Structure 1
Amino acid sequence: MKFGIYYSYWEQEWSADCLPYIERVAKLGFDVIEIAAHHANNFSQAQLDEIARAAKDNGIAMTAGLGPSADCYLAAPDPAIRKAGRAFFEKTLTNIAKLDVHSIGGALHSYWPVDYNKPIDKQGDWERGVEGIASLADFANDLGINLCIEVLNRFENHVINTAEEGVAFVTEVGKPNVKVMLDTFHMNIEEDSFSAAIRTAGPLLGHFHTGEANRRVPGRGRLPWHEIGTALREIGYTGTVVMEPFVKMGGGIGKDIRVWRDLSDNADQQKMDEDARKSLEFSRFVLEGC
């Protein structure tokens, strides 16, 4: 397994510059840094080159996360929004490919977070999502990118809430570079069993996010990490494990993730780094079993 962290752990805005964090995560011992995919569209070619060079120089691989907005996504009932979504994805995938990103995960099949003040059409959103992802998959594959469809909790999305639904969706898409993505935070809300969900995903599991039930770093809560690690090893998972903790209030991140209290225990940057380093050591131990 390759272990990573989402750089937004340290930030309050999704648009924050990822470049300063590449060397930091390398020094903390991580293999991977995850970035917000759509902000690559705001970078010049020189900036993209600089980020890619920094990652290579520090021995860090990059993955990307994405929650499309409601005005440009692939499953929209409005054909104009679907068209805008396709153009947005093509631009985004082209740019992250320049960063040597080979995996993008999130609510790629829908938008995030869902506005539940609007009517919900799960079946229609499912069917349009399958069609949109299937039509995008070959474009992504030509860039060497896997599309990892995230299983999200009911409060953030309605289309895919369990590993069983994730497998059904990906199977219906039927493209080899379209995978299931699981996240322990969402699994804690929706799944009857962590290990059963992981075994259900099996060989289709393409990306794995970790975090405690309250979104702290792994190892500072109550999730059954040994059970989770055993299941990952049982299915022979050797992919990326990216922790996605959110512990600070404020900004767009705090608002979107609903962080209404300081979960870091008022940590400064040095303490945040140390918490991440200790969690990485813990994660390697319990998930790899060594």
Structure 2
Amino acid sequence: MYDIGVNPWVWTSPVDDRALAELVPRIAAMGFDAVELPIENPGDWDPDRTRDLLAAHGLAAAGVCAVTPPGRDLVAAAPAVVEATVAYLKGCVDSAAAVGAPCVGGPVYASVGRTWRMSGAARSACYAEFRRSLTPVAHHAGERGVTLGVEALNRYETSVVNTMEQVVELIDGLPPNVGIMIDTYHMNIEEADPYAALVLAGPYIKHVQVSGTDRGAPGADHLDWPRFLAALATTGYRGAVCIESFTVENETIAAAASIWRPLAPSQDRLALDGLTYLRGLLR
């Protein structure tokens, strides 16, 4: 029913040409169908080279992940910051189109870890500012046949959007190629009923990331995965389901994602266990 993909962040960061040359053959040998491609900085990987590398190993580009470190913001930021972020996101769209990825997804509204209190009126103004800032990116993506998936993060990583209900409000009025990127890790923290929230998000889903509730392998955790996948099937989404996790060995990304201990005996084991479990449910 769904292709199963994996993000090379499971093993390393940044994901660049050298990392992909090493990891793509390994990912293919494990039996994955697709690869999710983050762009921490423009030029980390060459789209034409990556497209050919994936094709040579029978893998699809599941999506491109936009990354928002400090200084990448579309709301409550200086005009120059917003302008630079728009340019970065347009570059992500161009890379996605070149490599054949259908979606660019991520917390594209504000940098990860940036939080502030907002009244109801301030939140409405923030959301309106986001829609104005993202509109040129949405049009750019639409011209290239690429969708945008907006990702809700947990309360410790953002104060802009934490729930599917908030994301639906955030994207209201934007072009139809703008929707939602699901991330089960954040949903487990923020949603009182993640399965109902998934159905609410259903008409807008553009991309799906999965991990265990501890950021480890799906299946080695307390999420009801058969129920989650059954709910996902009702939405009509037919894109890839991609495992996203991180390695404690990389100092920068481990700190950003608060990975302070190994989440599996090895990163290969994390990827393989997640793949095996999901494949078994999807047969």
TM-score of the alignment, normalized to the shorter chain, above 0.5: yes
Q: Distance in 2 between matches of 1:149 and 1:52?
A: 24
**Cα contact 1:248–1:264 (8 A) shared by 2:** no
Report what 2:272 is aligned to: 277
After superposition, the C-alpha distances for 1:190-224 in whole angstroms (9 at most, x for unaligned) are: 00112101110112111111111111011111111
CA offset at residue 139 of structure 1? 0.3
Report what 1:23 is aligned to: 25
Asked if 1:37 is matched to 2:32, the reply is no
**Cα contact 1:160–1:166 (8 A) shared by 2:** yes
Q: Distance in 2 between matches of 1:106 and 1:72?
A: 12
**Cα contact 2:38–2:65 (8 A) shared by 1:** yes
CA offset at residue 171 of structure 1? 2.5
**Cα contact 2:154–2:186 (8 A) shared by 1:** yes
Q: Distance in 2 between matches of 1:172 and 1:274?
A: 43
Report what 2:261 is aligned to: 261
Report what 1:89 is aligned to: 89
Q: Distance in 2 between matches of 1:193 and 1:108?
A: 24
Q: Distance in 1 between matches of 2:205 and 2:95?
A: 24
Q: Distance in 2 between matches of 1:125 and 1:110?
A: 11
**Cα contact 2:104–2:146 (8 A) shared by 1:** yes
Describe the SS at the equivalent of 2:172.
Answer: helix
**1:1-290 counterparts in 2 under 5 A?**
1-11=2-12, 13-16=13-16, 17-43=19-45, 47-62=46-61, 63-114=63-114, 116=115, 122-173=123-174, 175-265=175-265, 267=266, 272-286=267-281, 288=282, 290=283
Q: Distance in 2 between matches of 1:232 and 1:113?
A: 28
CA offset at residue 15 of structure 1? 4.5
Q: Distance in 2 between matches of 1:48 and 1:232?
A: 30
Identity in percent? 26
Q: What do you get for the CA RMSD once the two structures are aligned?
A: 2.0
Q: Distance in 2 between matches of 1:285 and 1:233?
A: 16
Q: Distance in 2 between matches of 1:99 and 1:61?
A: 9
Letter in 1 for 2:244: E
**Cα contact 2:72–2:110 (8 A) shared by 1:** no
CA offset at residue 4 of structure 1? 0.5
Q: Distance in 2 between matches of 1:151 and 1:19?
A: 31
Task: Structure 1: give runs of 5+ residues left out of the alignment.
Answer: none
**Cα contact 1:4–1:241 (8 A) shared by 2:** yes
Letter in 2 for 1:160: V
Describe the SS at the equivalent of 1:147.
Answer: strand
TM-score w.r.t. length of structure 1: 0.87
**Cα contact 1:249–1:260 (8 A) shared by 2:** no
**Cα contact 1:249–1:259 (8 A) shared by 2:** no
TM-score w.r.t. length of structure 2: 0.89
After superposition, the C-alpha distances for 1:131-151 in whole angstroms (9 at most, x for unaligned) are: 122221010111221110001
Describe the SS at the equivalent of 1:68.
Answer: coil
**Cα contact 2:14–2:44 (8 A) shared by 1:** no
Describe the SS at the equivalent of 2:203.
Answer: helix
Q: Distance in 2 between matches of 1:215 and 1:240?
A: 19
